Amino acid sequence: MRILRSLPAFMAAILLAALPLSSPAQLSIGVGVTIGSVPPPIPVYVQPAAPYPNYQWTPGYWGWGSAGYYWTPGVWVRPPAVGLLWTPGYWGARGSGYGWNGGYWGASVGFYGGVNYGAGYYGNGFAGGAWSGNQFRYNTAVTNVNRTTIHNTYVNKTVINNHYNNSRVSYNGGRGGTTVKPTSGQITARQSGRPATTDQENQAQFASSDRNQYASVNKGKPTLTTSQKPFSSTNKPPNSAPVTTADKQGAQKQPKSAGANAPTNKAPTTQNKKPAPTTQNKKPAPTTQNKKPAPTTQNKKPAPQGQKPPAGGKGKPQGGGQGKPPAKNGNNKPPQR
């Protein structure tokens, strides 16, 4: 009897473990593309109901595509294995821009920049549910589920107060970003995490191909913020439209590596500093060409013989003080008496 009761859970574990994983891309665990302009705020959205037991909510986020920032709708996906939770990716200040830190699957929800993605991801940890053996229990205080198919639920409102962050800022660090820092344990967890699944990669791919999802078109307020099931060839975004050449050209004008603290407080460079004075704009220092020549034996009257020159050595005549110029050549001999 025990074997028969545990058989469904055992089969579910096998099916989850057999799911293929996607190749590393923008959703990969490491830091990906770096952009100069900051991403728009996280839009407010209504979470659709979880369609199947054990499915995990992966919140929407701003990605970077051929026409700039685009919104990838949040979606319910099947985890790659029983017991794994999703840690969302986030944009973080990195050098002279903002780098994308991809999300990952792990035994616990780690650091995601302190960004409030909603639906249990309020900036720190996860309040939407927890695994209990081979079954995931949903906290219906913050998670929307289809109760006709999902019965493993509970209600815990206290976790909202412990985790909630009402900011909609979508990046960590830099000017105006969140200030949360990862712990050493969270850094280690990210390094050992598992990358996004194929369903998650498809969700981002279809969103990046729809011009309606780009902030340059929707002004940072996409109309399609979530989807219950991942996008695919048979489940494309409604009213999808291809990205135009004009959309791409507009994105090329955006800075790729502007200051992470915005251009207003960017450190001066050789391009925005006033040039140091050069010989072209400085007044030339006096030279022998524009200085008055010092008196020589040709334009000074020779001191009478037998008299000493003035004290101090100024105006001392050449020739040892005798009033006679040195006889170096015949051109500067004194006139014959």
| pLDDT attached to residue 33 | 67
DSSP string, 142-167: T--B-TTT---EE---HHHHHH----
Q: Is residue 63 part of a domain?
A: yes
Tell me if 27 sits within 8 A of 103, measured CB to CB: yes
- 2 three-state secondary structure: helix
| pLDDT attached to residue 256 | 52
- Contacts of residue 197, Cβ cutoff 8 Å, sequence gap at least 6: 19, 20, 21, 22, 77, 78, 79, 80, 105
- Contacts of residue 309, Cβ cutoff 8 Å, sequence gap at least 6: 303, 315, 316, 317, 321
| pLDDT attached to residue 310 | 43
Tell me if 106 sits within 8 A of 85, measured CB to CB: yes
| pLDDT attached to residue 241 | 96
Q: Is residue 143 part of a domain?
A: no
Q: Is residue 60 part of a domain?
A: yes
Q: Is residue 73 part of a domain?
A: yes
Q: Is residue 150 part of a domain?
A: no
Q: Is residue 334 part of a domain?
A: no
**Residue 21: other Cβ atoms inside 10 A:** 14
- Contacts of residue 100, Cβ cutoff 8 Å, sequence gap at least 6: 26, 31, 32, 33, 34, 63, 64, 89, 90, 91
| pLDDT attached to residue 166 | 75
Question: What SS3 string covers 33-67?
Answer: EEECCCCCCCCCCCCCCECCCCCEEECCEEEEECC
| pLDDT attached to residue 254 | 62
* Nearest of 80, 25, 54 to residue 205 by alpha carbon: 25
| pLDDT attached to residue 336 | 47
In the chain (337 residues long), the average pLDDT of successive 10-residue segments reads 42 39 44 78 96 97 95 98 98 90 96 95 94 97 93 88 76 94 92 96 97 96 97 94 92 54 32 44 48 49 46 42 42 45
**Domains: count for the chain:** 1
Distance CA(318)–CA(326), nearest Å, equals: 7
Distance CA(44)–CA(46), nearest Å, equals: 7
| pLDDT attached to residue 197 | 98
Q: Which domain holds residue 53?
A: 25-117+168-233
Tell me if 232 sits within 8 A of 202, measured CB to CB: yes
| pLDDT attached to residue 165 | 63
Q: Is residue 321 part of a domain?
A: no
And the tokens for 258? Answer: 């502007």
DSSP-derived secondary structure letter, 330: G
And the tokens for 123? Answer: 């900036």
Q: Is residue 130 part of a domain?
A: no
- Contacts of residue 123, Cβ cutoff 8 Å, sequence gap at least 6: 112, 114, 115, 116, 163, 164, 165, 167, 178, 180
